[in-house]
Amino acid sequence: MDDTLESQPEQPGSNSPEMTVSELAGHLKRTVEENYAFVRVRGELGRVVLAKSGHLYFDIKDEGATLNTIMWKGNASRLPFKPEEGLEVVCEGKLSTYPGRSNYQMIADRMRPAGVGALMQLLEERKKKLTAEGLFAAERKKPIPYLPAVIGVVTSPTGAVIRDILHRVRDRFPVRVIIWPALVQGEKAAAEVEAGIRGFNALTPGGAIPRPDVIIVARGGGSIEDLWPFNEERVVRAVADSVIPLISAVGHETDTTLIDFVSDRRAPTPTGAAEMALPVRTELMAQIEMLGGRLTRRVAGALERRKLQLHSAAGRLPKPDALMAKARQRLDLASQRFGGSLSRMLARKRARFDQAGGGLRPAALRREIAGKRGEVVRVAARLQPAVERRLRRLREALTGQARVLNSVSYERVLARGFALVTRSDGGLVRSAGAVADGEALKLRFADGQRDVTAGAGGVSPPPVAGQAPGGTEEKHRPRIRKRVREDDQGNLF
């Protein structure tokens, strides 16, 4: 058997070392990465997935094949556009393998749309979407203030754009300009421009940093890829949400971005935006001077016309002396008559006074007083007996009423052995059934008062005739009949 085995020829490669699956996968991975360390692939995006980790997973496909592709978080965050399924792109990177699934894949470092046509198609689709939402409607546009006190500019602080804007502001009407630094090109530009627009709107009016009256978003010219951050939805929606009027000045006059459609005014250049925001100070002063001169001339002309009208009306009026002549004459005549009438009236009053004073002699007054005094004495002598008789009748009537009151007083009833039962609040108790067990009562006798408490025995039945309350035979007592007077009242209770 051993001879048979030794006689068999050796198979090709039988002396090759054995490899594990992982070792073979590692050899393949190195071979692929060394031979395809850099590739540029063009195709259509399919199955675009942005993981929570920030890594981007997508497929690049054409009619005959599909290439799984990965773009790590650092490169994916710098993309100047949003990858969407169906967009034709060009990706650059390297090929590698994934041993866990025995497939190969591309690790992309950069990605761009495949030509201007693809970007324009994406731009047109985005424009239709935002138009359908009403973000570009004319009724949303806000008026630009005529003379803003503060202008906010969102742009790069180191470019020529901000220098052009500041130069034009100084030439036209020097006002305060606040710059919000932002990148205007690249993968971070959209986020920084959005932050600048929303940051200006978040400022509090009258705060430490003044809130702008108008915002200018500016950038110089460039290709559609350079201007793409101003086509991003986040920037467009930030402009739509802005409460402060906004002027877009992105690119040259022939460049158009989506921010131009949503802004309140579009300027062809950044310099033109400054001209839209501010009037020319010298022209404004000349216009004010012209209007002031026109106003002065109009007021002077109106005063001159009023003066002529006043002179014309004064010429038709009579002279003041002529108007006052008759009234002055009537006053003189009345003054003359008033002097004589006053003298005559004083003479009559003096005569009547003297006449009345003659009758007021002291002796006559004393005689009249003596006569009146005697008359009073006589009347008093006649009235004295009548007054005494009246007082005597009233005293007798009062005495009778007192006897009647004393006869009906309940105190006389108490003196005969009765008691007055009242509650603690002073209410009168009229029957035994009205008293509750344990209720506090007051018994008033002729010589004082006692506080008692009602017992639980209830109301006792009336005693049998001829029997004492304790059950013993009651002795007959002779009944004493009392003579009742006509003016007496019966029992009070």
Range with the largest mean pLDDT of 69-83, 289-303, 366-380, 405-419: 289-303
Q: Dump pLDDT digits (tens) for 249-306.
A: 998 877 888 999 999 999 999 999 999 999 888 888 888 889 998 999 999 999 999 9
pLDDT confidence band for 118 (50 / 70 / 90): low
Q: Is the pLDDT of residue 199 over 80?
A: yes
Q: Is the pLDDT of residue 474 over 50?
A: no
Cα gap 426→442, rounded to integer Å: 8
Please tell me the class of the 21-114 domain: mainly beta
Contact by Cβ (8 Å): 181, 159: no
Q: Is the pLDDT of residue 119 over 80?
A: no
Cα gap 96→37, rounded to integer Å: 9
User: What six digits make up the tokens of 33?
Assistant: 């990465």
Q: What is the mean pLDDT of the chain?
A: 82
Question: Can you give the length of the chain in residues?
Answer: 493
Chain-centroid distance of CA 14 in Å reads: 91
* Predicted pLDDT at 475: 44
Burial of 444 (0-12, 13-18, 19+ CB in 10 A): middle
Q: Where are the alpha helices (DSSP H) in 214-319?
A: 233-241, 258-262, 270-277, 281-316
β strands within 371-419, DSSP E: none
Mean pLDDT, range 112-119, rounded to an integer: 70
Three-state secondary-structure class, residue 36: coil
Q: Is the pLDDT of residue 472 over 60?
A: no
* Predicted pLDDT at 485: 47
Contact by Cβ (8 Å): 298, 163: no
Q: Dump pLDDT digits (tens) for 388-402.
A: 888 999 999 999 888
Q: Is the pLDDT of residue 345 over 80?
A: yes
Q: Is the pLDDT of residue 223 over 80?
A: no
Three-state secondary-structure class, residue 318: coil
Mean pLDDT, range 429-434, rounded to an integer: 84
Closest listed residue to residue 67, CA positions, set 44, 33, 37, 35: 44
Contact by Cβ (8 Å): 175, 149: yes
User: What six digits make up the tokens of 167?
Assistant: 């130069």
Mean pLDDT, range 238-247, rounded to an integer: 94
Chain-centroid distance of CA 49 in Å reads: 46
Domain with CATH 3.40.50.2300 in the chain: 122-279
Residue 13 region, left (φ>0) first, then alpha (ψ -120 to 50), else beta? left
pLDDT confidence band for 486 (50 / 70 / 90): very low
Mean pLDDT, range 470-492, rounded to an integer: 45
Residue 45 region, left (φ>0) first, then alpha (ψ -120 to 50), else beta? beta
* Predicted pLDDT at 289: 87
Q: Dump pLDDT digits (tens) for 126-173.
A: 889 899 999 999 999 999 998 999 999 999 998 889 999 999 999 888
Domain with CATH 2.40.50.140 in the chain: 21-114
Closest listed residue to residue 120, CA positions, set 88, 90, 91: 88
Which residues touch 68 (CB under 8 Å, ≥6 apart)? 57, 59, 103, 104, 105, 106
DSSP assignment, residue 139?
Answer: G
Q: Is the four-CA dihedral 135, 136, 142, 147 of positive or negative sign?
A: positive
Closest listed residue to residue 99, CA positions, set 20, 16, 17: 20
Q: Dump pLDDT digits (tens) for 300-332.
A: 999 999 999 988 888 777 777 777 878 888 887
**Percent helix, strand and coil across the chain, each rounded to 5?**
45, 20, 35
The values of phi and psi at residue 449, to 5°, are -140, 145
* Predicted pLDDT at 460: 44
Closest listed residue to residue 418, CA positions, set 447, 396, 390, 394: 447
CATH for 122-279 (3.40.50.450, 3.40.50.720, 2.60.120.10, 3.40.50.2300): 3.40.50.2300
% of the chain residues with pLDDT over 70: 87
Tell which wins on pLDDT, 312 or 239: 239
Cα gap 143→242, rounded to integer Å: 13
